[in-house]
Amino acid sequence: MQSVHSVVSDEGGDSEFQKKKIRRLSFKEKAIGNAKKSLQLPSADGSGVVLMEYIGILYNYLSINVQQIKTDKKILKEYEKLVIEANSKISGESILSTILKDHGWNGVRFHYNAHVAVDVDSLLHVLGSLYLSKGSVDTGDDNSVIKSFCPDTLVGCLMNNFNSTKRLTKNFYGSCMLVDISGFTKLSAALCKKGVAGLDDLHIAINGYLGRCVEIVYAHGGDVISFAGDALICIFSHREAWNVVDGPESLVLDSMSAKLGVVDKRVSPNALAGLKCAMELKDHFTDTLTCHVALSCGKMSFATFGGFHNEWIYMVVGSCINEISSCIDDAKSKQVVVTEKVYWAVMSELKKSEALDTYVMPSGNRFINSLEVESETRPENNRLATIPNDAEIINMMKIFVPLPVLDSLATKNFKNSSQLREVTTMFVALNSFDPATMVENIPFLQQFFFMSQGVLAEAGGFMRQFLIDDKGCVLIAM
């Protein structure tokens, strides 16, 4: 099987860009290695337990008094007493003592610089990251981690030799779903102010709520393509819907044709599967977290972008991707809104004993009151086990995995990689981009993306996300 690495591997050339990148990576890898080596957690013996206990105590006190400690010397003195107690209980040199020294601790008090005794914000983030790492879950072998970062759609393309230098897109039919979570930003901000208890709760919220959302999607035969902030972008598409010949779009894209009973079967089963999933997702909520769901259907394109030093991303684009934006704007908490096309596609699939209750909104979209379908037994989903551990496929998948993840795997520190970190985030909008001509613009976007990768690499940045919707094209870097 030809490697995906060859898609645009010659575009970078043997330039000064590459030479600088190699020098920068050499320094970067050394720095990352030293940092992660120092952050290795102690073994689970008595001293390790004591160490983590005091890391929690120090973080908790600091988070509660983060503002007062900067100006109130009495509170700072109390914190210094806690630090002295912690050092007396922990034998030998520890990661905690190293962190404290880096933040101005001289053995009896803090003295960071002439202006402040301690860099409170930095110390708070470092202690929080270390405490978070103690609760990380063992994710298994490296291959399982790599597989978990690659959606089934990508894996299917790679296994079917989707790596030709002549074609960077694959057209298919199906439904697209956007799951927007409400309350997550507010919850994260509130929990991070609560100290240790807040960090534990944040872990539960992230792994519990989002994890269950992902489980529901895959249980209904869907595929989570990406996370866009606190939202999930998913698709539902059977394999037969991938046999698409470029040309006029199917009759299913014409609502009147659907009303007359002419519905493309490459879309309608996927629309029904997506709606069943959406109805279950809207009923998945906690005291603080809920979601609202949008669904569209039609022709989409799976596209890959990148190639600078064999770093790649993937995305699904097309008119129905743009349509879900108006649906999600119409949907409130615990609601599902779909396009008119989805409504007629689902109606064509329902049995006589099944029913769909909706009403048309001012925007033309459909609000879903209820969906009554026959109960069904869903097969157990174990998607990672179905992906072969073929070395060539795994290597192709790696080039789509974020670099920080690969760095963590290389240093055997992935299960301890949860962090709180201050970062600078940059948003770049491509103003000349027209979403209406998305598919035709893919070659142009590839050039833009490849150039952006090179600029970010030179500056030491990291490509966090590349988003395309009805509002345009946005690149997010850190």
* Contacts of residue 339, Cβ cutoff 8 Å, sequence gap at least 6: 295, 296, 297, 320, 323, 324, 327, 365, 366
* Tokens at 257, concatenated: 């044709």
* Tokens at 464, concatenated: 């966090």
pLDDT at 17 over 60: no
pLDDT at 134 over 60: no
More confident residue, 295 or 471: 295
* Tokens at 18, concatenated: 């590459």
User: Which one of 27-31, 89-93, 207-211, 367-371 scores highest in mean pLDDT?
Assistant: 367-371
The mean pLDDT of 439-455, rounded to a whole number, is: 81
pLDDT at 253: 45
pLDDT at 289 over 50: yes
pLDDT at 3: 35
Tell me the one-letter amino acid at 358: T
Give the residues across from 177 on adjacent strands.
Answer: 234, 295
Asked if 95 and 130 count as a contact pair (C-beta separation under 8 A), the reply is yes
pLDDT at 334: 93
More confident residue, 312 or 194: 312
> Of 250, 247, 218, whose CA–CA distance to 232 is shortest?
218
Q: Which of 49-53, 64-68, 285-289 has the lowest mean pLDDT?
A: 49-53
The mean pLDDT of 332-355, rounded to a whole number, is: 91
pLDDT at 364 over 90: yes
More confident residue, 185 or 182: 182
Q: How confident is the model at residue 226 (pLDDT cuts 50, 70, 90)?
A: confident
Asked if 275 and 295 count as a contact pair (C-beta separation under 8 A), the reply is yes
Q: How confident is the model at residue 255 (pLDDT cuts 50, 70, 90)?
A: very low
More confident residue, 160 or 236: 236
pLDDT at 282: 93
Average pLDDT in the chain: 74
**CB count in 10 Å sphere of residue 322:** 18
pLDDT at 369 over 90: yes
pLDDT at 312: 86
pLDDT at 29 over 50: no
pLDDT at 399: 86
pLDDT at 248: 42
pLDDT at 469: 67
Alpha-helical (H) ranges within 90-234 are 95-102, 120-134, 142-148, 152-159, 184-192, 196-204, 211-219
The mean pLDDT of 385-400, rounded to a whole number, is: 82
* Tokens at 198, concatenated: 């807040």
pLDDT digits (tens, 9 = 90+) for 43-65: 334 455 677 777 878 877 877 77
Half-sphere exposure of 296 (CA within 13 A, CB side): 20
Asked if 212 and 206 count as a contact pair (C-beta separation under 8 A), the reply is no
Percent of the chain at pLDDT exceeding 70: 70
Percent of the chain at pLDDT exceeding 90: 16
More confident residue, 471 or 314: 314
More confident residue, 175 or 4: 175
* Contacts of residue 52, Cβ cutoff 8 Å, sequence gap at least 6: 41, 42, 131, 134
Q: How confident is the model at residue 137 (pLDDT cuts 50, 70, 90)?
A: very low
pLDDT at 447 over 70: yes
pLDDT at 168 over 60: yes
More confident residue, 300 or 358: 358
The mean pLDDT of 21-46, rounded to a whole number, is: 38
The mean pLDDT of 440-461, rounded to a whole number, is: 83
